[in-house]
């Protein structure tokens, strides 16, 4: 391994003012190459744009700029092929690449860092990384939403109890239930889109903190890297990490939603509920109990939510006491960020697979939804339709429920006369008033569970994801 040396004994690219070598423990302690190598392609893109700009603005000779660009392209290919010799002694990805460039093209490599600091370099790498990560998250969310929509379409007439407090509340269509997660995930996707929109300014040219005395053309590098413009304040450019925070916050929120979906699958796949059976491909067995089929996949999703939330808290905590501008603490941004991105991607993928392959036990769901108690609210609303104030109707039906619970009567089979003993305004017996089909049909309002409304929701969901897919297809910069 060739390590570039300066004229002093430290053996570092920054070694000019040093006379002593770095302690090996410090070298190990401060190195970030084992994780920031994930930024390699972005670092090279940034360096190529920078080198071209330096050449075109006459800051370095045009020939040298070409040499740098070709050298960097060769290194990109080497990294892509897995042949790059990452060296912890060279600290981070920036130094590793510059050092390798020096091996490849000789002293000309020393011109690459002209007018640049690792501070604006790493901020640029992160912005480029985050733009891709925001887009990748939107794609993964889209895939899961497409699966939910597919399964919802299949189950428009599957009825199950909807729950509040995990107590049976009112009957809903399974399509409606899954479309609830479709909505939630749609907002998650918007959060990633929105975070991506705020990464339109390029930090390159901010230097270490206060720009450069050299005539850098920041608009040039910004555009070359697909940004709209250079950042507007050099100090903010090198100290801001809110882009990473936003990504991790969006990831944490998305994971919390996934965790709730996961929790339902755990509950629904239990023998007590028996609403769904997870596919063999998405379940695991017990090493001891031969009969077991465990919902490990949703459980792990639920479990991984903790670490993604933790990643956000970790970077928030790292940043909270830092004075402007760059502080080395900020190197701690990367591991939680990369981990959140990878964990979210994996969780979205396995949840899509789990939902796509699970089997719905339509009968179990329907049986659970049959309980006439689930329509008690409808009985109160029947009185409201007769002109009775809701509070009075609610109280009346409460007494009827108590009568049924206490006396073992079926709420769905009370005669008109019995009902009228509780309130004179009942116009029919409960069998007529508490009809599940009618109950659905009456919930004919925006966001409601009437078949026509759920059909309309499915249709609009279809056109929404077609639009999102088209946007993602068009708007990608590589």
Site residues (CB under 6 A) for ligand ARG? 32, 36, 92, 118-119, 122, 326, 328, 330-331
CB of 43 to ligand ARG, least distance (A): 10
Of 122 and 404, nearer to ligand ARG (C-beta) is 122
Nearer to ligand ARG, 90 or 249 (CB): 90
Instruction: Compute the least distance from the CB of residue 371 to ligand ARG, in Å.
Output: 59
Long-range contacts of 320-326 (CB under 8 A, 24+ apart): 322/239, 324/235, 324/239, 325/119, 325/209, 325/235, 325/238, 325/239, 326/119, 326/208, 326/209, 326/238, 326/239
Name the residue nearer to ligand ARG (CB basis): 36 or 98: 36
**By C-beta, is 29 or 406 nearer to ligand ARG?**
29
Spatial distance between the Cα atoms of 203 and 221, rounded to a whole number of angstroms? 10
Q: Name the residue among 122, 117, 119 with its Cα closest to residue 36.
A: 122
3-state secondary structure of 148: helix
What's the longest Cα–Cα distance across the chain?
103
Cβ 328 to ligand ARG shortest distance, Å: 6
- Minimal distance, residue 51 CB to ligand ARG, in Å: 19
Q: Which is nearer to ligand ARG, 31 or 72 (CB)?
A: 31
- Beta strands at 359-360 and 276-277: parallel, antiparallel or unpaired: antiparallel
Instruction: Determine phi and psi for 276, rounding to 5 degrees.
Output: -140, 155
User: Hey, CA dihedral for 110, 115, 118, 123, is it positive or negative?
Assistant: negative
Nearer to ligand ARG, 32 or 231 (CB): 32
CB of 206 to ligand ARG, least distance (A): 12
**Residues constituting the chain:** 478
Q: How far is CA 313 from CA 191, 236, 252, in A?
A: 18, 22, 10
For residues 378 and 371, give the distance between their C-alpha atoms in angstroms, rounded to a whole number.
13
Helices (H), 57-117: 62-80, 93-105
Cα–Cα dist 65/61, whole Å: 6
User: Catalytic: which of 2, 30, 270, 286?
Assistant: 286
Question: Min. distance of Cβ 262 from ligand ARG in angstroms?
Answer: 33
Phi/psi of residue 18, nearest 5 degrees: -100, 145
Long-range Cβ contact pairs of 468-473 (< 8 A, separation 24 or more): 468/138, 468/142, 468/189, 469/142, 472/135, 472/138, 472/139, 472/142
Q: Is 140 among the residues known to form the active site?
A: no
- Give the other-Cβ count within 10 Å of 406's Cβ: 8
**CB 364 to ligand ARG: min, Å:** 53
Nearer to ligand ARG, 45 or 118 (CB): 118
Catalytic annotation present for 287: no
User: Which residues have a catalytic role annotated?
Assistant: 165, 286
């Amino acid at each position: 391994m060739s390590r570039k040396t300066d004229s002093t004994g430290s053996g570092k690219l920054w070694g000019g003012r040093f006379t002593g070598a770095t302690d090996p423990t410090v070298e190990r302690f401060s190195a970030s190459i084992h994780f920031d190598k994930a930024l390699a392609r972005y670092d090279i893109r940034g360096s190529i744009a920078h080198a071209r700009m330096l050449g075109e603005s006459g800051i370095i000779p045009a020939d040298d700029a070409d040499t740098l660009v070709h050298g960097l392209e060769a290194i990109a290919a080497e990294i892509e092929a897995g042949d790059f010799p990452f060296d912890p002694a060279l600290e981070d990805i920036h130094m590793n690449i510059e050092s390798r460039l020096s091996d490849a093209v000789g002293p000309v490599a020393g011109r690459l860092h002209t007018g640049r600091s690792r501070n604006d370099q790493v901020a640029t790498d992160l912005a480029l990384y985050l733009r891709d990560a925001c887009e990748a998250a939107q794609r993964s969310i889209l895939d899961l939403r497409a699966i939910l929509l597919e399964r919802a379409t299949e189950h428009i007439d599957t009825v199950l109890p909807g729950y509040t407090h995990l107590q049976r509340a009112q009957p809903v269509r399974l399509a409606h239930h899954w479309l609830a997660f479709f909505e939630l995930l749609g907002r998650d996707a918007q959060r990633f889109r929105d975070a991506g929109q705020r990464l339109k300014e390029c930090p390159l040219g901010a230097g270490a903190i206060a720009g450069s005395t050299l005539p850098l053309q920041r608009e040039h590098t910004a555009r070359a890297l697909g940004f709209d413009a250079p950042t507007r304040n050099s100090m903010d450019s090198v100290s801001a990490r809110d882009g990473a925070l936003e990504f991790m916050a969006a990831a944490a929120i998305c994971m919390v939603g996934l965790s709730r979906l996961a929790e339902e699958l755990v509950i629904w796949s239990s023998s007590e509920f028996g609403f769904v059976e997870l596919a063999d491909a998405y379940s695991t067995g017990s090493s001891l109990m031969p009969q077991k089929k465990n919902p490990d996949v949703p459980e792990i999703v639920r479990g991984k939510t903790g670490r993604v939330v933790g990643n956000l808290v970790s970077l928030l905590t790292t940043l909270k006491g830092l004075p402007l501008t760059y502080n080395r603490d900020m190197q701690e941004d990367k591991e939680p960020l990369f981990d959140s991105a990878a964990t979210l991607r994996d969780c979205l993928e396995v949840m899509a697979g789990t939902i796509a392959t699970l089997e719905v036990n339509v009968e179990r769901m329907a049986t659970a939804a049959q309980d006439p108690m689930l329509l008690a609210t409808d009985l109160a609303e029947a009185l409201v339709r007769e002109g009775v104030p809701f509070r009075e109707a609610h109280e009346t039906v409460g007494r009827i429920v108590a009568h049924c619970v206490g006396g073992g009567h079926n709420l769905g089979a009370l005669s008109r006369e019995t009902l009228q003993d509780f309130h004179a305004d009942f116009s029919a017996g409960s069998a007529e008033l508490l009809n599940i089909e009618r109950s659905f049909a009456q919930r004919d309002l925006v966001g409601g569970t009437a078949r026509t409304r759920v059909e309309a929701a499915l249709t609009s969901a279809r056109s929404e994801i077609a639009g999102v897919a088209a946007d993602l297809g068009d708007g990608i910069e590589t």
